Amino acid sequence: MSVNQTDPMIGRLIDGRYQVRSRIARGGMATVYLASDLRLERPVAVKIMHGHLADDENFKERFIQEARSAARLAHPNVVNVFDQGQDDESAYLVMEYLPGITLRELLQDHRVLTPEQATDILEAVLAGLAAAHRSGIVHRDLKPENVLLADDGRIKIGDFGLARAASANTATGAALLGTIAYLSPELVTRGVADTRSDIYALGIMLYEMLTGEQPYKGDQPMQIAYQHANDTVPMPSAVNPRVPPELDELVLWATARDPDQRPRDARAMLDHLFELQRGGATGGVQKTMVLPSAMAPVPPLQRTTGPTGPVPPSGTGETFGGSTGDTQILPKGRHRTGPVVPALSENAEALQKKAGRRRRRGAVWLVIVIVVALVALGTALWFNVGPGAMASVPGVSRSSVSQATSTLTADGFAVSKTQEQRYSTSVPAGEVTGTRPRAGATVHKGATVTLIVSQGPRILSFPQVTGHLEATARAALKNFTVKASSYQFSNQAKNVVLSVAGTTSAGADEDLGSASTYREKGPVTLTVSLGPVPDVTGKTVSDAQATLSAVGLVGDQTASSYSDTVAAGSVISQAQANQGTVIKGDHIDLTVSKGPAPITLPDETGKKVSTAEAALKALGLKVTYADCTTVQCSTASALGFDWRKLVKVQSQSPAGKSTVHKGDTITLTYDGSAISVG
């Protein structure tokens, strides 16, 4: 998607209720937007099916199925669905909005989770999935992308787009749905899914949380599918030795190739997890506290009785003799001074031992309490002000490297001296486009953050599109941002590109007609021909104006003139009102004919016919008269005279001083008998 193009859904009001604010994510079937429910005044997530799938009834039914499946569930660990409908041919559903991240993003930031973290997430997902299984719904697409971790600590399952009724046990047909990395063997081999298929996917997710990787890898999806169908998932502890045996067994149980060897549903697996946490009959992860050896209590005084008095056990200490034959035993390395204590009676010795045990137990508990307090204090200091304290990486995008470094340093992070370089069409070269870990990620204070610095847009080869059709040019410019074209009339054929323009990095206009390179996603404007301006000369004014209007031009009758060749009321000539480029909406000046110019007819009466004829023809008039057939005319012609030079005009029609027009015919009369020859 082009960075410079705006999503048309942003700002749109759906069904008169949901105002779209921004885009959250885009998937294969739909795009999710953040919107405001204007009726209840709360933020919601609106999932809108892609427009190109609107005509596909199978996709549409699957989309509606998600709404129905999720709407049947009411559980704290399942994303709530509030509404579903259709607006302008776009199917949509309205869901609970959870600010936060997905489990996939958490794994990208931290890779491996602790057993405690993995168990917490597993417990929440199992609880939500158990509600679905109890309602007869199989999710069929469990993966880290569909586990949402809200900022307030809630964990929820979303995206029931592939959910089906558990009782249906239907096959997927020719194509396997879901993500290949989490498909159960029965889905791969038989295309059949039930509640145990969800358990298998959850077992793969638990393996990934504990090890930071998926159990099966391959260059092709079929390689991974083959391993799901034929191999046994290894124990997570083979990759991460810190994984306890109980979680190893839980992963192996959930990912058994035979569905009958797995938990029957999420409830059964959740109950087993509770037993592990309680340390029940099936085993559990016991959390025991071991005292440091330096704080172990001193062994108590030991006594035993021999033939002549108390006798030390072999190798336990030193012997001191007294006059009474009594022997007192002290731990090795300790020396006693003073008189020897006489032997106690059996009752007194029993009471003394009992009191000693009570004192020792009290001392042990005191030591335990002190140690626990110190551990708690140390933990609090570690996670609040020490190296173990957590903090969110601040957003430093679109700031300079020095500004970003100062911001991160002030928040207690270290900034790596090595920077990542990345091309960007939206962030100027030299500015920060992001960080690794990403902005908003929760990491330890003092963690090292790597800056991702923009190199600006890539410089690409620029195609020559002048002289090509507009559609061909736009296809060739797919790596650039082609804006709305400019159109003008020209002598070129319609839809042919006349010129191409862009802007420099400083924002100045740039002619790209002869450019060989240009920056990626740079703005491009095409100037396209509308074809020649129609020629309307010779047409009537109304016809000429209609012809011009059909192509977006306005014909104005601005002048009129006499014309000997163009009929009155028709266009003699045309010209654009303003000099320069002609575009739609421009005015064309029309000069309209008034017909031939009027002529005042001269009086040719009394003039020789030849003289009159010449004068009238010089004015553009036509002359007619009867041929002379008299004897005098014949005689004159025989003698070589032009009889028209001998006879005079007796009258003319029309008469002299009449108004005529060029091309009119004037009739002359004469008397041939008046010819005098010789």
User: Annotated active-site positions, please?
Assistant: 141
Residues 6+ apart with CB under 8 A from 74: 80, 131
Q: Name residue, tokens 């933020």.
A: 43
C-alpha to C-alpha distance for 16 and 36, rounded to whole angstroms: 11
Could you write out the DSSP letters of every residue in 591-653? Answer: EEE--SPEEE----TTSBHHHHHHHHHHTT-EEE-PPP-SHHHHHHHHTT--GGGTSBEEEEE
DSSP state of 232: P
Residues 18 and 38: beta-carbon distance below 8 Å: yes
Q: How many CB atoms lie within 10 A of CB 621?
A: 19
Residues 554 and 587: beta-carbon distance below 8 Å: yes
Residue whose C-alpha is closest to residue 376's, from 387, 384, 362: 384
Residue 328, strand partner residues: 320
DSSP state of 436: E
Residue whose C-alpha is closest to residue 249's, from 231, 259, 237: 237
Q: How many CB atoms lie within 10 A of CB 674?
A: 12
Residues 421 and 389: beta-carbon distance below 8 Å: no
Judge if the upstream peptide bond of residue 292 is cis by omega within 30 degrees of 0.
no
Distance of alpha carbon 459 from its chain centroid, rounded? 23
Q: Compute the Cα dihedral for 408, 410, 413, 414 and give only its sign.
A: positive
Q: How many CB atoms lie within 10 A of CB 205?
A: 26
